[in-house]
Amino acid sequence: MSDRQHLNIALWLLGICFVIFCMISLGGVTRLTGSGLSMVQWAPITGVLPPMNETQWVAVFKLYQASPEFVKVNTSLELEGFKSIFWFEYFHRLLGRLIGILFFVPMVYFFVRYPLPASLKFQLLGLFILGGAQGLMGWYMVKSGLVNDPHVSQYRLVAHLALALVLYIAIFWLGSAHFIRHWVQRYATPEWLNTGGVALFLLVFFTLLAGGFVAGTRAGFAFNTFPLMNGALIPEGYAALTPLWKNLFENIAAVQFNHRLLASVTLMLAIVLAWLAYKTPLIPALKRLFVVTLLFMLLQYALGILTLINYVPVSLGAIHQAMAVLVMTSGLFLVRVLVHLKCQIQA
């Protein structure tokens, strides 16, 4: 393929990443505003259009009135209030459909017009299938809150988040290849730097998933002090559930503590790596990458504290979730560069 064709595919994939970022951010707003269970049916084709008149609004509202969330939580909600929560979930689902179109149509065009290698075609088809699986996982998550308990399962919520992040990571990794290959060739980086970069990214990823369990259990509305949790370093009742493993995913005290701990360890590792990178004779661009990653993490850590001590307002909660994806992207790009440089040496 020509350099221009490579660039077009890279820009397309990174554009998809941006839309996925918007969808993850909107998903956070949907959860924080309690809008996720407002649409009790899943209609991938016919559900593209929202209610267009008062009769249709009343019909959709009646479906919601039969749901556990209305019966047990929102019994006083009227039609106008329902509309305000409906739109968040509607646009979240609409954005998911838009991502499918924005991926599929250009993919077909590139398949027909560009001399793509078979391996790239296989990767793109795999990403498209993974995107479809993400849509199914989203509905599977919503269904868990439409049965008896009007709250989605934290396990399904984190699975939905994890699949979205894996899709984002895979597309970003593939899309950034065009830009990465223009970096300095055959530059040797210390092995500890490569290992540290991968460890940092993995810690960011698992911290983000831990944040999903905080959201799923609403653990952010408890222990709203920092750095101690109601006066204790390790909160009372950390291991209250049996079997012990359940505390990691269902115990509010343990879930929030684990998220704090992972975030703190991640930040400390970022500080150490940035300091070591500064002291090590590296190319300036690589040093700047470590510093930028650290700055993102410092901002995210501060946002997390502000969100917690202010009892998770929608604005701060949404910014905190969006910023988490940016932190992950920074760490991912760092790893992408390090892997590229290592492969150039081995080539």
Lowest mean pLDDT among 58-62, 187-191, 229-233, 251-255: 187-191
**What is d(CA 152, CA 75) in angstroms, rounded to the nearest whole number?**
18
Mean pLDDT over all residues of the chain?
93
Question: Residue 265 is which amino acid?
Answer: V
pLDDT for 1: 78
Question: Residue 121 is which amino acid?
Answer: K
Q: Percent of the chain, pLDDT > 90? A: 84
pLDDT for 189: 79
pLDDT for 44: 81
pLDDT for 180: 84
**What is d(CA 340, CA 338) in angstroms, rounded to the nearest whole number?**
5
With a CB cutoff of 8 Å and minimum separation 6, the contacts of 272 are 196
pLDDT for 184: 59
Structure tokens of 184?
A: 């300095």
pLDDT for 158: 97
**What is d(CA 253, CA 233) in angstroms, rounded to the nearest whole number?**
11
pLDDT for 322: 96
Q: How many CB atoms lie within 10 A of CB 269?
A: 17
Bridge partners of 229?
232
- pLDDT at 341 exceeding the cut of 90: no
Mean pLDDT of 84-108: 96
pLDDT tens, residue by residue, 196-221: 999 999 999 999 999 999 999 999 99
232 by DSSP, 3-state: which?
strand
229 by DSSP, 3-state: which?
strand
Q: What is the pTM of this model?
A: 0.95
pLDDT for 347: 45
Residue of 86, 321, 314, 331 whose CA lies nearest to 202: 331
Mean pLDDT of 229-255: 96
Question: Residue 108 is which amino acid?
Answer: V
**What is d(CA 303, CA 323) in angstroms, rounded to the nearest whole number?**
9
- φ, ψ dihedrals at 229, nearest 5°: -105, 100
Lowest mean pLDDT among 36-45, 108-117, 169-178, 320-329: 36-45
**What is d(CA 126, CA 133) in angstroms, rounded to the nearest whole number?**
11
Q: How many CB atoms lie within 10 A of CB 179?
A: 17
- pLDDT at 315 exceeding the cut of 50: yes
- pLDDT at 231 exceeding the cut of 50: yes
**What is d(CA 214, CA 237) in angstroms, rounded to the nearest whole number?**
16
Angle between helices 3-32 and 314-346 (to 10 degrees): 150
pLDDT for 186: 63
Mean pLDDT of 56-63: 96
- pLDDT at 342 exceeding the cut of 80: no
With a CB cutoff of 8 Å and minimum separation 6, the contacts of 249 are 154, 155, 213, 217, 255
CA 137 to chain centre: 14
DSSP character for 223?
-
Q: How many CB atoms lie within 10 A of CB 151?
A: 18
pLDDT for 345: 54
Query: Are 44 and 18 within 8 A, CB to CB?
Result: no
Q: Residue 14 burial by CB count (10 A; 0-12/13-18/19+): exposed, middle or buried?
A: middle
